[in-house]
Protein backbone atom coordinates (compact mmCIF):
# COMPACT_ATOMS: atom_id res chain seq x y z
CA UNK A 1 0.00 0.00 0.00
CA UNK A 2 2.94 2.31 0.68
CA UNK A 3 3.58 2.61 -3.06
CA UNK A 4 0.06 3.77 -3.66
CA UNK A 5 -0.06 7.38 -4.77
CA UNK A 6 -3.14 8.43 -2.84
CA UNK A 7 -2.35 8.99 0.77
CA UNK A 8 -4.81 11.43 2.32
CA UNK A 9 -3.32 14.65 3.65
CA UNK A 10 -5.79 14.77 6.54
CA UNK A 11 -7.38 11.69 8.14
CA UNK A 12 -10.05 12.35 10.73
CA UNK A 13 -11.55 9.81 13.11
CA UNK A 14 -14.85 9.70 14.97
CA UNK A 15 -13.56 7.37 17.65
CA UNK A 16 -16.72 5.63 18.79
CA UNK A 17 -17.55 2.44 20.64
CA UNK A 18 -15.52 2.61 23.86
CA UNK A 19 -18.55 1.96 26.07
CA UNK A 20 -19.72 -1.03 24.03
CA UNK A 21 -16.19 -2.45 23.97
CA UNK A 22 -16.17 -2.36 27.77
CA UNK A 23 -19.65 -3.76 28.28
CA UNK A 24 -18.92 -6.66 25.90
CA UNK A 25 -16.16 -7.57 28.35
CA UNK A 26 -18.26 -7.06 31.47
CA UNK A 27 -16.22 -3.97 32.34
CA UNK A 28 -17.16 -0.42 33.30
CA UNK A 29 -17.48 2.09 30.42
CA UNK A 30 -14.41 3.96 31.65
CA UNK A 31 -12.24 0.91 30.93
CA UNK A 32 -13.21 1.33 27.29
CA UNK A 33 -12.13 4.96 27.40
CA UNK A 34 -8.77 3.96 28.91
CA UNK A 35 -8.17 1.34 26.21
CA UNK A 36 -9.42 3.68 23.47
CA UNK A 37 -6.96 6.36 24.54
CA UNK A 38 -4.11 3.93 23.83
CA UNK A 39 -5.06 3.82 20.14
CA UNK A 40 -4.45 7.55 19.66
CA UNK A 41 -0.60 7.47 19.71
CA UNK A 42 -0.64 4.17 17.79
CA UNK A 43 -2.79 5.57 14.97
CA UNK A 44 -0.89 8.87 14.99
CA UNK A 45 2.43 7.04 14.57
CA UNK A 46 1.06 4.92 11.72
CA UNK A 47 -0.36 7.99 9.98
CA UNK A 48 3.03 9.67 10.26
CA UNK A 49 4.76 6.58 8.85
CA UNK A 50 2.39 6.53 5.86
CA UNK A 51 2.96 10.21 5.12
CA UNK A 52 -0.37 11.59 6.36
CA UNK A 53 0.29 15.19 7.47
CA UNK A 54 -2.75 15.79 9.70
CA UNK A 55 -4.63 13.29 11.83
CA UNK A 56 -7.56 14.39 13.93
CA UNK A 57 -9.69 12.74 16.58
CA UNK A 58 -13.21 13.59 17.70
CA UNK A 59 -12.35 13.25 21.35
CA UNK A 60 -15.32 14.85 23.09
CA UNK A 61 -18.34 16.55 21.55
CA UNK A 62 -20.32 19.50 22.91
CA UNK A 63 -23.20 17.03 23.33
CA UNK A 64 -20.99 14.70 25.39
CA UNK A 65 -21.24 17.25 28.25
CA UNK A 66 -24.73 15.79 28.72
CA UNK A 67 -23.34 12.44 29.85
CA UNK A 68 -23.36 11.50 33.55
CA UNK A 69 -21.13 13.84 35.56
CA UNK A 70 -18.83 11.02 36.70
CA UNK A 71 -18.12 9.93 33.11
CA UNK A 72 -17.45 13.51 32.00
CA UNK A 73 -15.07 14.10 34.92
CA UNK A 74 -13.30 10.83 34.19
CA UNK A 75 -12.87 11.73 30.51
CA UNK A 76 -11.43 15.16 31.34
CA UNK A 77 -8.93 13.63 33.79
CA UNK A 78 -8.05 10.96 31.23
CA UNK A 79 -7.43 13.64 28.63
CA UNK A 80 -5.01 15.41 30.96
CA UNK A 81 -3.29 12.18 32.03
CA UNK A 82 -2.83 10.76 28.55
CA UNK A 83 -1.43 14.01 27.16
CA UNK A 84 0.92 14.09 30.13
CA UNK A 85 2.01 10.43 29.82
CA UNK A 86 2.48 10.46 26.05
CA UNK A 87 4.03 13.89 25.62
CA UNK A 88 7.64 12.73 25.58
CA UNK A 89 6.90 9.98 23.03
CA UNK A 90 4.98 12.47 20.88
CA UNK A 91 7.85 14.98 21.09
CA UNK A 92 10.30 12.28 19.96
CA UNK A 93 8.05 11.50 17.01
CA UNK A 94 7.79 15.15 16.00
CA UNK A 95 4.05 15.47 16.64
CA UNK A 96 2.57 18.93 16.77
CA UNK A 97 -0.65 19.14 18.81
CA UNK A 98 -3.66 21.34 18.24
CA UNK A 99 -6.62 21.11 20.57
CA UNK A 100 -9.72 22.64 19.02
CA UNK A 101 -13.14 23.29 20.49
CA UNK A 102 -15.02 25.36 23.03
CA UNK A 103 -12.27 25.94 25.57
CA UNK A 104 -14.48 28.10 27.75
CA UNK A 105 -16.25 25.00 29.01
CA UNK A 106 -13.02 23.30 30.09
CA UNK A 107 -11.66 23.32 33.58
CA UNK A 108 -9.01 26.11 33.84
CA UNK A 109 -6.26 23.63 34.77
CA UNK A 110 -6.91 21.49 31.71
CA UNK A 111 -7.10 24.62 29.62
CA UNK A 112 -3.72 25.90 30.70
CA UNK A 113 -2.20 22.43 30.27
CA UNK A 114 -3.53 22.26 26.73
CA UNK A 115 -2.01 25.64 25.96
CA UNK A 116 1.33 24.41 27.27
CA UNK A 117 1.17 21.24 25.15
CA UNK A 118 0.40 23.31 22.05
CA UNK A 119 3.28 25.64 22.86
CA UNK A 120 5.94 22.97 23.45
CA UNK A 121 4.97 21.01 20.34
CA UNK A 122 4.45 24.06 18.09
CA UNK A 123 7.65 23.65 16.07
CA UNK A 124 7.31 19.87 15.56
CA UNK A 125 6.69 19.09 11.93
CA UNK A 126 6.39 15.35 11.22
CA UNK A 127 2.61 15.34 11.66
CA UNK A 128 -0.06 17.53 13.24
CA UNK A 129 -2.43 15.71 15.62
CA UNK A 130 -5.66 17.54 16.31
CA UNK A 131 -7.84 16.70 19.28
CA UNK A 132 -11.37 18.02 18.89
CA UNK A 133 -12.40 18.63 22.46
CA UNK A 134 -15.73 20.15 23.48
CA UNK A 135 -16.28 20.55 19.76
CA UNK A 136 -19.30 20.46 17.52
CA UNK A 137 -19.73 21.51 13.93
CA UNK A 138 -22.68 23.79 14.61
CA UNK A 139 -20.84 25.41 17.53
CA UNK A 140 -17.86 26.10 15.24
CA UNK A 141 -19.96 27.69 12.49
CA UNK A 142 -21.84 29.80 15.04
CA UNK A 143 -18.67 31.02 16.80
CA UNK A 144 -17.25 31.92 13.36
CA UNK A 145 -20.39 33.90 12.49
CA UNK A 146 -20.23 35.69 15.85
CA UNK A 147 -16.60 36.72 15.45
CA UNK A 148 -17.25 37.94 11.94
CA UNK A 149 -20.26 39.95 13.16
CA UNK A 150 -18.16 41.48 15.95
CA UNK A 151 -15.42 42.46 13.49
CA UNK A 152 -17.93 43.89 11.02
CA UNK A 153 -19.54 45.94 13.80
CA UNK A 154 -16.24 47.49 14.82
CA UNK A 155 -14.36 47.69 11.51
CA UNK A 156 -15.99 49.44 8.51
CA UNK A 157 -13.47 47.79 6.15
CA UNK A 158 -14.71 44.32 7.13
CA UNK A 159 -18.30 45.50 6.74
CA UNK A 160 -17.63 46.88 3.24
CA UNK A 161 -16.09 43.55 2.15
CA UNK A 162 -19.03 41.41 3.33
CA UNK A 163 -20.72 41.14 -0.06
CA UNK A 164 -17.57 39.90 -1.77
CA UNK A 165 -16.72 37.47 1.02
CA UNK A 166 -15.98 33.95 -0.25
CA UNK A 167 -16.36 30.57 1.42
CA UNK A 168 -12.58 30.45 1.85
CA UNK A 169 -12.67 33.85 3.57
CA UNK A 170 -15.37 32.62 5.96
CA UNK A 171 -13.51 29.40 6.73
CA UNK A 172 -10.73 31.50 8.27
CA UNK A 173 -13.09 32.24 11.16
CA UNK A 174 -13.55 28.54 11.96
CA UNK A 175 -11.32 27.01 14.63
CA UNK A 176 -9.84 24.81 11.90
CA UNK A 177 -8.37 27.81 10.07
CA UNK A 178 -4.86 26.30 10.16
CA UNK A 179 -5.94 22.80 9.12
CA UNK A 180 -6.87 21.55 5.63
CA UNK A 181 -10.32 19.97 5.29
CA UNK A 182 -10.32 16.23 6.04
CA UNK A 183 -9.89 14.01 2.98
CA UNK A 184 -11.06 10.93 4.84
CA UNK A 185 -13.40 10.67 7.84
CA UNK A 186 -13.42 7.28 9.55
CA UNK A 187 -16.17 6.34 12.01
CA UNK A 188 -15.77 3.24 14.13
CA UNK A 189 -18.40 1.16 15.97
CA UNK A 190 -20.96 0.73 13.19
CA UNK A 191 -22.81 4.01 13.62
CA UNK A 192 -23.37 5.79 10.33
CA UNK A 193 -23.85 9.39 11.27
CA UNK A 194 -21.83 12.60 11.59
CA UNK A 195 -22.89 13.41 15.19
CA UNK A 196 -22.34 17.16 14.72
CA UNK A 197 -18.69 16.76 13.72
CA UNK A 198 -16.95 18.69 10.91
CA UNK A 199 -20.13 19.90 9.18
CA UNK A 200 -18.49 22.64 7.11
CA UNK A 201 -15.06 21.08 6.69
CA UNK A 202 -16.41 17.62 5.79
CA UNK A 203 -18.43 18.90 2.83
CA UNK A 204 -16.38 16.78 0.39
CA UNK A 205 -14.70 14.28 2.69
CA UNK A 206 -14.77 10.60 1.85
CA UNK A 207 -16.45 8.55 4.60
CA UNK A 208 -15.33 5.15 5.83
CA UNK A 209 -17.55 3.30 8.28
CA UNK A 210 -16.40 0.20 10.12
CA UNK A 211 -18.07 -2.01 12.73
CA UNK A 212 -14.78 -2.28 14.60
CA UNK A 213 -15.03 -0.61 18.01
CA UNK A 214 -12.48 2.16 18.63
CA UNK A 215 -10.42 0.27 21.26
CA UNK A 216 -9.99 -2.53 18.66
CA UNK A 217 -8.99 -0.17 15.84
CA UNK A 218 -5.30 -0.82 15.21
CA UNK A 219 -2.88 0.24 12.51
CA UNK A 220 -3.99 -2.61 10.21
CA UNK A 221 -7.53 -1.21 10.32
CA UNK A 222 -6.22 2.23 9.46
CA UNK A 223 -4.32 0.82 6.49
CA UNK A 224 -7.51 -0.85 5.24
CA UNK A 225 -9.37 2.46 5.42
CA UNK A 226 -6.60 4.27 3.55
CA UNK A 227 -6.50 1.57 0.88
CA UNK A 228 -10.21 1.97 0.32
CA UNK A 229 -9.81 5.75 0.20
CA UNK A 230 -7.26 5.21 -2.57
CA UNK A 231 -9.92 3.58 -4.74
CA UNK A 232 -12.52 6.34 -4.33
CA UNK A 233 -13.28 8.70 -7.18
CA UNK A 234 -13.52 12.23 -5.80
CA UNK A 235 -15.53 14.29 -8.26
CA UNK A 236 -16.44 17.41 -6.26
CA UNK A 237 -19.67 17.74 -8.24
CA UNK A 238 -17.91 17.75 -11.60
CA UNK A 239 -18.17 15.36 -14.51
CA UNK A 240 -15.08 13.31 -15.21
Residues that bind ligand IPE (CB under 6 A): 14-20, 58-61, 64, 75, 189, 191, 193, 195
DSSP H or E run through 237: none
Q: Rule CB under 5 A: which of 61-100 touch Mg ion?
A: none
CB 200 within 8 A of CB 141: yes
Gap between the Cα atoms of 14 and 57, Å rounded: 6
Nearer Cβ to ligand IPE (18/121): 18
Which of ligand IPE, Mg ion, none does 186 bind, CB closer than 5 to 8 A by kind?
none
Residue number with the shortest CB distance to Mg ion? 16
Active site residue 64: yes
Q: Is position 216 annotated as part of the catalytic site? A: no
Q: Is 29 in the site for Mg ion (CB under 5 A)?
A: no
**Using rule CB under 5 A, residue 16 touches Mg ion:** yes
In terms of CB distance, is 36 or 101 closer to Mg ion? 36
Report whether 179 contacts 200 (CB < 8 A). Answer: no
* 3, 18, 64, 181: the active-site residue: 64
Please work out, in degrees rounded to the nearest 5, the angle formed at the alpha carbon of residue 15 by the alpha carbons of 183 and 7: 25
Q: Which residue number is nearest to ligand IPE in terms of Cβ?
A: 19
Q: What sign does the CA torsion over 132, 137, 140, 143 have?
A: negative
CA–CA separation, 165 and 155 (whole Å): 15
Closest CA to 22 of 12, 30, 11: 30
> With respect to ligand IPE, which residue has the nearer C-beta, 124 or 195?
195
Query: What are the catalytic residues?
Result: 16, 64
Amino acid sequence: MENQARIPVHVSIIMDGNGRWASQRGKERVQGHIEGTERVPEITAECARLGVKYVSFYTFSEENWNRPKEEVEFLMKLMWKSLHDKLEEMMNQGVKFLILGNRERLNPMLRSYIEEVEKVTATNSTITAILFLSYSGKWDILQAAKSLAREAASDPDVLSRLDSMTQDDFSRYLVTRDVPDPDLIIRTSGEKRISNYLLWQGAYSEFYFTDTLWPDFHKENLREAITEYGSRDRRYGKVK
